[in-house]
Every structure is written in C-alpha cells, then in structure tokens.
Chains A and B, each alone.
Chain A
Amino acid sequence: MIDRIEIYNKPDFFDVHGEEVKASIKQLGIRTVEAVQAIRVFLLEGNLNPESLHRIARELLADPVSEEYHIGQMAAPPGLAQATLIEVHLKPGVTDPVAASAGMAIADMGIMIESVRTARKYLILGMLNEKQTKMIAERILANDCIEEVIVGADREPPSPHLQPYQLKKNTLPIRQLDEFALQKLSKDYDLFLNLAEMRTIQDYFRRLDRDPSDIELETLAQTWSEHCVHKTFRGIIEFTEAGKPEKTAEPQIINNLLKSTIARATHELNKPWCISVFQDNSGVVEFDEEYGVCFKVETHNHPSAIEPYGGAATGIGGCIRDPMGTGLGAKPIANTDIFCFAPPDMKIEDLPAGVLHPRRVMKGVVSGVRDYGNRMGIPTINGAILFDERYLGNPLVFCGNIGLIPRDKCFGETKEGDFIMVIGGRTGRDGIHGATFSSGEMTHEHETLFSHAVQIGNAITEKKTLDTLLQARDENLYNAVTDCGAGGLSSAVGEMGRQLGAIVDLEKVPLKYSGLNYTEIWISEAQERMVIAVPPDKLERAQKIFADENVEATVIGRFGNAGRLELRYDGEVVGQLEMDFLHDGLPKYTRKAIWQPPHIIEPELPQQADYTTDLKAILSDYNVASKEWIIRQYDHEVQGGSAVKPLVGVSNDGPGDASVLRPRLDRERGIAIGCGICPQYSEIDPYWMALAAIDEAVRNVVAVGGRPDKIAILDNFCWGNCDKPDRLGGLVKAAQGCYDGAMTFAAPFISGKDSLNNEFVTKTGQTTHIPGTLLISAMTIVDDVNRCVTMDAKKAGNLILIVGETKNELGGSQYYKLKKELGANIPKVNLKTAPQVVQAVAEAIRQGLVASCHDCSEGGLAVALAEMAFAGGLGIETRLDNVPASKDVTRADQILFSESTTRFLLEISPDHFAKIARILSHVRFGEIGRVTGDSRLVIRDANNNFVIAAELADLKEAWQAPLRW
C-alpha cells in the first residue's frame, strides 16, 4: 500500500522554488505563465493508519508555520482550464537522500514503515501548448538521465522494485577472434580498449588456455583506461617540431612524457619538504613539525556536460576523497574550483543537438559544487571561471581539495591477511563505466547512451564516513585506505592489493537495490565509498566505530592471494587475474606528435587618445568580471581558518589574488592557495602558455604573503584527442613548459591529473575540441598569517610601484579579444629574472613594507590598477612613462593592456620607499603614481595627457554587472 503526502506553502509564504521555476520559464521565452507552485511529494510504503499518516505529515514533513499538507494526490484547482501538472520522479535506483532521512525520522517517531520515496510536483498556471510543456519539463524541471517526468495526474510513478539477481557467469570467447571482431567486442562492451590492448589480452588468455569472463575483461578495461593509467603521458611519443632549423626531420623519442618533464622537475629539485609526491591519491608536503598538507585537483568534465549538477557535485565529492584516501587519511580543509564554460549568453538556436545551454551548465555546476562542498563543511576558498565558445559541449570542471594530515599518518601499506572493508555508501548501478567513458570522445548521443555513467552524490554520507574514518585512523585500526573513484572497487582493491593479491566475495557488497550482476558490483562508481585494510585483531573495534555513527562498514574479502586477484560470487569463482598482468601488462605503444607553429600575424590597431571605454569593456568581459555571485554561494569560512578571503577590500568585494587559511586554529601559520590558467595562449604556443600559467599561480600566492621557497604546484591537463598528432604535439610543448617553469621557480609538482579526449562530435559529424587547457594550482606556506597583505588600495598618499618589465605582449590578451584579434606576441616568462622579481616582492612583504599588492594578469596594468582602486574605494593617479618597459613598447595601449608576466603592483608608504628600493635594486621597477583621496582612476601618458580617466563607481559597475545574477 502506497500513501502519498503532498506539501505546499501557505499562501502568505514566498514560494522560492516556484518563483525560480517561473523566472526560468520566462528566460526560455515563454511569457504566458502566470504562476508556478512547487509541491513536495512523499510516497510512503507500509500499512499506515490514517492517524499515523496525519502525524507524519503534520509533525515531520510539513512546516507547521509556513506549509500545509494534503493526503493523496491533489488535482489541479477546478475551474482553471489552463493548469498544467508536472511531476518529476527519480528513476529507479537513483540515490534519494531525503527519502533515507525521512525514513529514519519516521522511525524516531515510533512509526513502522517499509520505504519512502520523494518526488517534486509543479502546478503551472497559464496557457501552454504540448511542445512548451515538454520544453519546460526537459529544460528546467527534470534531467532525463536521472529523472522521469509525468505530465498530468493520471499515471502512477515508476515502480522502484527491481528483479533479484540470479548468478549467470558470462564467458566471452576471444581466443579465436580476428582483428575486426576484437575491435567490435571492445566497442560492444564499451571497453574503450584499442586493438593492441585487445590483442595483448587475447594472447594472455591463449597462454592460460581459456577464455575470459566479462568481469575479467571489464577489470582490465577499467585498470587500463586512460583515466586510470594515463597511457598518453606514460607511453612513447615520437615528437617532431616543425619550423626549427637546428632540429632535423629526425623526431625526438620521448619515453614517458610525465617522467621526462613534470616529475623530472620534482626529482631534480629534490625538496626536503616534499613528503609524498606522485605516488598516492594526493601530493603531501610539510606544513609544520606535526602535520603535512596534501593537495589534489581532479576534473569531472564529461559527467558535468550531461548532468551539470550531479556531475559537478560528485566531482568535488570524489576529489575530497583523494586526501581522505591519502596515506592513512587526511582531514579535508579546503576546496578549490575552476570552471571553463561557453559564454552564458549564447543563443539557444546556436547550440548543436545534444548540448545543454552553457547558462544551464554553469548554474548546475555552481549549484552542485556549492551543495556538496557546503554540506561537507569544507570551505571553498579559491577558483576561477573562464569563458570561451570552444568549451561548448565540453565544459571543464576542475575540483581541488586540500587536506591536513599528521606526519606519522602519511603512509599506509596493506598487510597479508587484512580484511577488505568497504565503508560509507552502498553500491548501485550509478556511475557504471565512468572511467572508460571519461576517456573517450563525446558525441551528441552521449547524453542518452551514457546516462548510467552519471553518478549521484550524497554529501552527508561522505561526511559521516569522514568523521568515523578519522576516528579509526587515530586509533590505528587499519593499515591502508583508498577511495573508490574511477573504476570503483575494481580500481580500489586492485591498487591496494597490487603486491599481495586479494580474494573478494562480491555478493557481500551492500547494494542500494537488488538486481546488480557481479560485474556491475565490481565496476560501479557509486559515490561515498572508501576501502580500508583492517587487520583481524582490529576488526571488532573498527566495526563499532562505524556502527556508532550509522556508517555501513562491510568486510568483502581479504588481501593476500599470492599476487592473484580472485573474484567470487556466492562461492563460485567468476574472475581470476594476475596482479602483474593487470598492472604491468598494458602494452606501451608509440604515438606521433607534431608541433607546427601557427601562422599568426600581429595586428596593427589604430592608436587612440583615450582608452577609458576599452578598459570598461574589458572589465565587463565575463573572464575579468566579478565572480561574487558564485563566491558568496560557497561557504568560504567554515572550519574557522579563513585569514585572507577570496573577496577583499573596503566593501568586501574586491578580487583577492589568493586565499590564505590557518588550518590549526591555535597557530598563526597558514597556507596560501592560488591558481593559474591561460588557455587563451594555447593556440599560439602551448609552451609559453604553460609558463604563463605557472607564473600566474606563483604570483598569486606570493602576492598575499606566501613564501616563494615553499611553493608546491599541481598540473591538470585538459586536452583534445591525443591520438591526433597535432593535439599531442601541443601537449608535449606544454609539458616541456611545465618542466622549465617548475625549475625556474624551484616549485616542484606534487600531483597532477589529465583529462584527454575533450572533443565533441556533432550530429553532422563535425568535431569541436577545447583549447589545450592547463590548470596550475599552487600552495605555499605563510609563516605568520598576521603579516599577509591584500590587493585593495589602503591609504591616500601612498605610492604605487610596478615591479617587473612590461613588454609588447598583447597576443591572446583581453584587449585584442575586445578588438576581435588574436595576435602573435604572447607573454613570455623571462626565466632568469622572473624568480628574482618574485623573491624581491616576497621579501618586501615579509619585512612588512607593503600596504597592498596585486599582480597584473588578464587586462594587464590598467585592469590591475582599476581593481586595486575600486576594491579600496580610493582613487589612483599614475603616469605611464615610469613603467619599466622593453624597447619594443612604443604605444600607450601596449603599456596599459599588455599581459606580460611576472609583474606586481605594490602600494607602499612614502616612508618605506628607500628600504623598498634597496630590496628591488636588482629587478626592474618604477614608481608610477600614488593613491589619492578622490574617487577617480586617472592614468596619464608621458605628455601628461590622460589616456584613462574614470569614476571608480563606473569602473566597478562595469566589472560587477555582467555576472550579478
């Protein structure tokens, strides 16, 4: 018996959700809707008497002050012909956290119940035709891949009951297959394995004299996926660079790009403060004598393209589990988020089939990260958002997490005989084939084909898991931990049992619902699960800790089986693989890479007397504009460690360069977190793009007072299809830039991740690909957070200095973008002077001589001055002739808008000038103006004519208006 309770607002109370839907309908261009009422629906299964039903509705589900309830299905109000009812139900098996909590609360009331389901119902008043109703349902109310829409009130919601699973072992004869059939098998099973890999597997099973089962093939496909082993970075590359006369046609052979560039820098720098790099789920560096800090950044691009909210939420949820699964487990203390979208004002008509509108993607992604991060109680403190049409269909969602870990808990090691215990969430059909899916190209069909690859998160399950995991860690109850990420249990157990082997009884894995076959259980990427290795004598205590806080913890097998992985279901062996083959059997294959410099010429723009309008337009570009709308939706202060917030200045709304946290509340030591990302230069030269990104990340953390000698960086590559030599050529160039950048700033890479194949095939067969995008995240130590500085102008009468050289480097700049040009002269980091500039600025800040510091980035000097001024609410007057510039700089617009790297603006008291000048004596700097008591930004040229003159209020409005949603 299923009872239905519907909850709705009393008339005097504002219906927030209903109004939101109404506003979104209007944005779709439908103007006939007069009102929308949002109704919450609960479906209760069990033999409830009317008294219990009313009690549940009155005391628990409906707010006694603001809401009313109705038992049963409410019809549309009579007499209103134009009322449309739309119900949105979760598809069977999709996680429903509210239902779980409601079930528990009903039990707390002493009422017995079998199950609870929830749904949303909308009553829409106004003329709508069938097409419009469908559009509202699809575009606003529901996402087809996880939800089912019912229009009207006649049809019952889908049944949640699934058939129980009967074991049926599936063997796939591959020993006799020819090339074509091998490739077909790979495709039919969504294995994403290429021919060489399929052949290697075929040979392996020929040697064993048997055929593989489906679970064996799937395990190999997961473990060998690009997502899990990074074949591109670790394979062999034949690299040819065109246009370099000294290099003959002979290609350069690169054996393992990662080892020969990024990891090589770390190895050569050999910093004693690096505790664990490139070997665990995140990189760990020293924080103080008792703690280390770890940092990991992941991407969740493909799921976010299909289901932005769920994709982004599980992106951050998964990334948080990386520090949790590092060493013996870290406590997550901060999140970062960096997104790349197509411009949110694109016309709906311009979207290819199968692509969600960028505005919907952006809103969904922001909400997903917000809801998961905030619920986890982890402050989101740093990020960036970039807009470019090439991210249409391929949005990028980077999520980072930083953890604090005791020095004696930085390493774990599975021991023979340890129980394999899975803790946290249950396993369901969600997220099947995520690892292989994310390694392939997207097509317009992906939205439907791969909807099962989208995972649904429940932050509270993860929070409970974290709370209990750290208690178990502190009591030394397990020897090793890892998270269930891509590849699910397959990857987690495979990794932990790599040396020893393991035996797993798959029927023991707790399931969300029945019906999963053994392979689905093994590769499901259901969220919020961790695997720990528990020695037998600690089992009882561990089980109690988890049970005490309602966290499910189940032994599913044991580690140790002479290096073999054995998978069983109800006692029957369904799969058996040697760990050596699983982890080392992947054939290395050679790829070609070519870098051909593009033919781009530097444009010649007419000179102007006044650039004020251009400055305002650049401030209004989505890339430069204020991101306050997003930043405020993230809790950036939870855990109490916030020392420099993402928004700073007199009105708490200026764009801070980096955030600073004080992770131990009883200490004054902190960490500064920043990032750099410059995809606008990729097309012109990925080598300099990478250096610019590293320079930007370094500038950010130094500008707030971070130590220049303790900077750790992370790389996240998002690239197109690297089977194509030109894409791979760009990747090689960028990786080479990473090596030089890390060496230049003596900043080792401690962790990284790549997401390749970010391409999209439209219905008409056209391939679009993203610009090569490299995110550099940076973290450094702040000795004393009380000495940090922010970027907002502080005091009238103070001097403004620029440190670093301005060059004729407008290529890829915001200024050229405004003028619809690209340009060839992209910023090139001076590898010799850049670290000197950084160290000098850091020293001036360390000595307490700097009132404010801001780096010059997008929009160059002009934007940096404007931001400094309006953030501080104080005018600034400057002259361009004192700006130290290279000889090829001949025009005002070059000085104003060039995006040359390694430049900082400093505000200092005139009393400190002599001291600062001494510190800066060996780098280029100039005194270019002063902070004034008025409310204007005035910039003059050498002849004392103003080239920019504007009221701060106007500049700030230009900067704030575009994303004030």
Chain B
Amino acid sequence: MSNIKVLVLRTAGTNCDQETCHAFQLAGAQAETLHVNRLIEQPGLLDHYQILALPGGFSYGDDIAAGKILANQLIHHLRDDVRRFIDSNKLVLGICNGFQVLVKAGILPNLPGQNGSAQATITYNDSGKYEDRWVHLQPATDKCVFIQPGQRLYLPVAHGEGKVCFAHPEILDRLKAEGHIAFRYVDENGNFGDFPINPNGSTDHIAGLCDPTGRVLGLMPHPERFVHKTQHPRWTRTEIQQPDGLTIFTNAVQYFR
C-alpha cells in the first residue's frame, strides 16, 4: 500500500471525484474523497494528506460564477489551513472546476506583492457555449512539479467557462517571466491558433497556471479522462503508448518518492 495520500475534495455538484481518485491510484497513491463540510468542521484532517485535489464538476451549480461559492468557502473557512498545507511542501491540483475555484480563491496565480487584489479570473468561453473536445497542450514552465517540460499532452476539455483573463497586462508579463504559465493550447504541431485549437479564447492561449512554489497547478483540461488507452478518441486507429493524462498524476506521486 502506498504511503502517499490524496484528498479529493468534493461538495454539492462535484462530479469528477471518482475518476480523479482512480487516476491517483493508478499513479500509485492512496486517494479518497472528503466532503468540504467535514473539512470545515475539522480542518486538521488535511494533515493526513500530501496532495489536495479539487476535481471537476459544477460546485454549487456554478451559481454566481464558476467555482465562486466553493472559493468563497475556502476563503472564509479554510484559508490558513490550505496556505499551511502548501507551505509545508505539499501539492495542490485543481482540474477544470477545481482550477476555477483556485483562481477565484486567489490561490492561483498568487503573484507576490499584489496586496491581495485579484490577479486573474476565468470567464465564459468566447464561443458562448459549453463544449467537450480534445486539445493539445504545450508545457510552458519548468518549475511545476506536475509537469514534464517539453512533453506535449493531448487531453479533453469540457467546460463553458474556461477563458483565463488577467486584471491587467503587467500581470501576464510577470506570470510569463516568472514561469507561471503551466500549459498553452496548441495544435498537433505545436503552433498556436484560434478556435478550436484554443477552445475558449483564453488570453495568450493559457490552459493552466501554477503558483510561485510550483506545487500548485490548476488547468482546464481533464488529465483524469486519459489514463486508459480506450479513452483516447482515436484509439481504434492509432497506437497509444502511454495515456497522456497519467503523467500529471505520476509526476505528483513521484515528487514524494
């Protein structure tokens, strides 16, 4: 039995918790779900885990804005506990709705020296609609423990609000300069392009962000949806070596080995 423990946080409307647990288990960790109400009652439970994962879904129906209500809960009930968790050399992964929560709670990108003011948000796709489609991702940082620099990934996105935006252009400049851009949407040859290559119109083609420690990653695409050969949309016509999504989970678990 692995000694790396993952807490997959769930609440009303979370719906990718089971497959996220499964992906971490395939990567050799022990993963379990916990309702946010239990964590608010007993924040000390966090101490038992090395990795905190915020899975995809529609937490609280995405009412007000995607991820907003769960972010509000983290801010008002768990802010210090999550901060302590990150600072004690542990990992946080936010996928899709989880990424939206991390950004809206200010945990990402969390550039220092901004006086706590909001730096980024994630808003409606330019297409105006929810879409499920596969995208290519180019890593753009070498400081994130979840990411193998240079290894391009092919993963699905499934969201209506995935466009990353920044409070002002200088934030983006700093994020680029300081290695916070985790992934960018590209085509199969690594080139940038408009929809559908960039599925939501995200600023600078950004698909994911990491924090200054490199131990917090948030991304819109779903790595947990490509951990088995037959999840690839073209597995009946192409040879699949290693499912791309699995590397994110394996890298996280390897970090503690």
Complex Cα spacing A662 to B229, Å: 12
Report whether A640 and B18 are in contact in the complex, using a CB–CB cutoff of 8 Å. yes
User: Which of B22, B130, B132 has the largest number of chain A CB atoms within 10 A?
Assistant: B132
Contacts of A60 in B (CB 8 A): 64, 68, 72
Report whether A66 and B165 are in contact in the complex, using a CB–CB cutoff of 8 Å. yes
Contacts of A458 in B (CB 8 A): 61
Q: Specify which of B12, B126, B237 is in contact with A549 (CB 8 Å cutoff).
A: B12
Q: B257 interface residue, CB < 8 Å from A?
A: no
Report whether B35 and A101 are in contact in the complex, using a CB–CB cutoff of 8 Å. no
Report whether A105 and B64 are in contact in the complex, using a CB–CB cutoff of 8 Å. yes
Q: B231 interface residue, CB < 8 Å from A?
A: yes
Q: A616 interface residue, CB < 8 Å from B?
A: no
Q: A300 interface residue, CB < 8 Å from B?
A: no
Report whether B120 and A65 are in contact in the complex, using a CB–CB cutoff of 8 Å. yes
Smallest beta-carbon distance A53→chain B, Å: 16
Report whether A375 and B236 are in contact in the complex, using a CB–CB cutoff of 8 Å. no
Report whether B15 and A376 are in contact in the complex, using a CB–CB cutoff of 8 Å. yes
Which residues from 322 to 351 on chain A have a C-beta closer than 8 Å to any C-beta of chain B?
Answer: none
Report whether B133 and A108 are in contact in the complex, using a CB–CB cutoff of 8 Å. no
Q: A548 interface residue, CB < 8 Å from B?
A: yes
Report whether A786 and B229 are in contact in the complex, using a CB–CB cutoff of 8 Å. yes
Interface string of A633-650 (1 = CB under 8 A from B): 111111110111101111
Contacts of B22 in A (CB 8 A): 640, 665-666
Report whether B237 and A637 are in contact in the complex, using a CB–CB cutoff of 8 Å. no
**Chain B: which residue is nearest A60 at the CB level?**
B72
Q: A785 interface residue, CB < 8 Å from B?
A: yes
Also in contact, A102 and B63, with CB within 8 A (given A633-B130, A640-B224): yes
Which residues from 1 to 32 on chain B have a C-beta closer than 8 Å to any C-beta of chain A?
Answer: 10, 12-16, 18-19, 22-23
User: Which of A65, A102, A104, A548 has the largest number of chain B CB atoms within 10 A?
Assistant: A65
Contacts of B121 in A (CB 8 A): 63-66
Q: A271 interface residue, CB < 8 Å from B?
A: no
Which of A12-20, A584-592, A860-868 faces chain B?
Answer: A12-20
Contacts of B230 in A (CB 8 A): 642-644, 662, 785-786, 788
Which residues from 52 to 67 on chain A have a C-beta closer than 8 Å to any C-beta of chain B?
Answer: 59-61, 63-66
Smallest beta-carbon distance B166→chain A, Å: 7
Interface string of A679-713 (1 = CB under 8 A from B): 00000000000000000000000000000000000
Smallest beta-carbon distance B71→chain A, Å: 9
Q: Specify which of B61, B120, B123 is in contact with A375 (CB 8 Å cutoff).
A: B61
Smallest beta-carbon distance B24→chain A, Å: 12
Q: Specify which of B63, B130, B131, B231 is in contact with A101 (CB 8 Å cutoff).
A: B63
Report whether A789 and B236 are in contact in the complex, using a CB–CB cutoff of 8 Å. yes
Report whether A102 and B165 are in contact in the complex, using a CB–CB cutoff of 8 Å. no
**Chain B: which residue is nearest A873 at the CB level?**
B237
Smallest beta-carbon distance B102→chain A, Å: 14
Q: B124 interface residue, CB < 8 Å from A?
A: yes
Q: A652 interface residue, CB < 8 Å from B?
A: yes
Smallest beta-carbon distance B126→chain A, Å: 6
Complex Cα spacing A315 to B88, Å: 48
Report whether B61 and A16 are in contact in the complex, using a CB–CB cutoff of 8 Å. no
Complex Cα spacing A786 to B237, Å: 12
Report whether A105 and B72 are in contact in the complex, using a CB–CB cutoff of 8 Å. yes
Report whether B118 and A65 are in contact in the complex, using a CB–CB cutoff of 8 Å. yes
Contacts of A187 in B (CB 8 A): none
Which residues from 436 to 471 on chain A have a C-beta closer than 8 Å to any C-beta of chain B?
Answer: 458-460, 463-464, 467
Q: B82 interface residue, CB < 8 Å from A?
A: no
Complex Cα spacing A578 to B55, Å: 50
Report whether A377 and B128 are in contact in the complex, using a CB–CB cutoff of 8 Å. no
Prevailing SS type, chain B contact patch: mixed
Q: Specify which of B65, B120, B134 is in contact with A652 (CB 8 Å cutoff).
A: B134
Contacts of A491 in B (CB 8 A): none
Smallest beta-carbon distance B17→chain A, Å: 9
Complex Cα spacing A647 to B134, Å: 11
Complex Cα spacing A650 to B134, Å: 12
Q: A97 interface residue, CB < 8 Å from B?
A: yes
Chain A count of residues within 8 A CB distance of the other chain: 67
Contacts of A59 in B (CB 8 A): 72
Interface string of B30-42 (1 = CB under 8 A from A): 0000010110000
Q: B156 interface residue, CB < 8 Å from A?
A: yes
Q: B176 interface residue, CB < 8 Å from A?
A: no
Complex Cα spacing A16 to B162, Å: 13
Smallest beta-carbon distance B117→chain A, Å: 7
Interface string of A366-388 (1 = CB under 8 A from B): 00001000111100000000000
Report whether B15 and A648 are in contact in the complex, using a CB–CB cutoff of 8 Å. no
Report whether B131 and A550 are in contact in the complex, using a CB–CB cutoff of 8 Å. no
Report whether B64 and A14 are in contact in the complex, using a CB–CB cutoff of 8 Å. no
Q: A117 interface residue, CB < 8 Å from B?
A: no
Interface string of B105-126 (1 = CB under 8 A from A): 0000000000001111101111
Complex Cα spacing A635 to B222, Å: 12
Q: A109 interface residue, CB < 8 Å from B?
A: yes
Q: B167 interface residue, CB < 8 Å from A?
A: yes
Interface string of B179-216 (1 = CB under 8 A from A): 00000000000000000000001000000000000000
Report whether B61 and A101 are in contact in the complex, using a CB–CB cutoff of 8 Å. yes
**Chain A: which residue is nearest B225 at the CB level?**
A637
Q: B60 interface residue, CB < 8 Å from A?
A: yes
Contacts of A633 in B (CB 8 A): 129-132
Q: Specify which of A16, A102, A640, A666 is in contact with B225 (CB 8 Å cutoff).
A: A640
Report whether A638 and B37 are in contact in the complex, using a CB–CB cutoff of 8 Å. no
**Chain A: which residue is nearest B41 at the CB level?**
A548
Report whether B35 and A548 are in contact in the complex, using a CB–CB cutoff of 8 Å. yes
Q: B84 interface residue, CB < 8 Å from A?
A: no
Which residues from 593 to 637 on chain A have a C-beta closer than 8 Å to any C-beta of chain B?
Answer: 632-637
Contacts of B130 in A (CB 8 A): 370, 374, 633, 635
Instruction: Give me 5 other A-B pairs in contact (C-beta within 8 A), A65-B165, A650-B237 excluded.
Output: A65-B167, A101-B69, A375-B15, A377-B15, A666-B22
What are 5 residue pairs bridging A and B, where the CB atoms are less than 8 Å apart in the complex?
A100-B63, A109-B72, A632-B132, A639-B15, A640-B227
What are the 8 A-B residue pairs with the smallest beta carbon separation, nearest first?
A: A377-B15, A640-B19, A64-B118, A101-B63, A65-B121, A460-B61, A643-B230, A16-B124
